[in-house]
Amino acid sequence: MDWAEVVNHPSLRDLPFKIETNEFGEIIMNPVKIGHSIFQGEISSLMKSMRPEGIAVVECAIRTSKGTKVADAAWASMEVIEKIKDETDASIAPEVCVEVVSMSNTKLEMKEKRQLYFEKGANEVWICNEYGEIRFFDDSGEIEQSKMFPDFPKKISIGKQN
């Protein structure tokens, strides 16, 4: 199946899972917990507040050499948004792509997704673990802090703040 068929298939529209495809056109489904969705929303909200000149995106479908992968959160400049806004799955990646790790994700899968997003033009890829701790990467490897969002926290807290 290609991504347009997946998006338009009536039986797949209301599934409570994140759906992606692999390089063979097979549908991959990953169930997520509420905490995953909360991190996704908090990261998107922070991105938008820190860089309002661009667009924060959730569930951003990106066409890669290994199928359509869906970044949990992303930030794109208006230049990139103009290029992808009418596409079913983005032909180029937003400048920042974020993966919130689910219990079904492996380290190898996250490494592969980073590579695929960089191949499609991402400047940075962030990985948020189940505790809200964020690791930042550019195409040379792990970096201490985001270059595009230098004040972005290294940990997202849920619930009562001290």
Instruction: Say which CATH topology domain 32-143 has.
Output: tt1808, chain A (3.90.1570)
The answer to whether the CB of 89 falls within 8 A of the CB of 37 is: no
Q: Which amino acid is at 3?
A: W
The alpha carbon of residue 117 and the mean position of all alpha carbons in its chain are separated, in whole angstroms, by 9
Q: Which tens digit of pLDDT belongs to each residue from 64-91? A: 999 999 999 999 999 999 999 999 999 9
The yes-or-no verdict on residue 129 having pLDDT over 60 is: yes
With b for 16 or more beta-carbon neighbours within 10 A and e for fewer, the 61-96 pattern comes to bbbbeebbbbbbbbbbbeebeeebeeebbbeebbbb
pLDDT above 80: residue 141: yes
**Mean pLDDT for all residues in the chain:** 87
Rounded distance, CA 71 to CA 58, Å? 7
pLDDT of residue 162: 39
Instruction: Quickly state the pLDDT bin for 27 (edges 50, 70, 90).
Output: low
Q: Is the pLDDT of residue 61 over 70?
A: yes
Q: Which residues contact 20 (CB under 8 A, 6 or more apart)?
A: 27, 28, 30, 67, 68, 69, 70
CB 129 within 8 A of CB 112: no
Q: Tell me the β-bridge partners of 137.
A: 125, 142
Both tokens assigned to 132: 């809200």
Q: Three-state DSSP class for 90? A: strand
Q: Which amino acid appears at position 92 of this protein?
A: I
| pLDDT band per the 50, 70, 90 thresholds, residue 26 | low
Query: What SS3 string covers 29-42?
Result: EEECCHHHHHHHHH
Kindly report the CA angle at 53 between 52 and 57, in degrees rounded to 5? 65
pTM of the model: 0.82
Q: What is the pLDDT of residue 42?
A: 96
Taking the domains of the chain in order of start, what are their residue ranges? 32-143
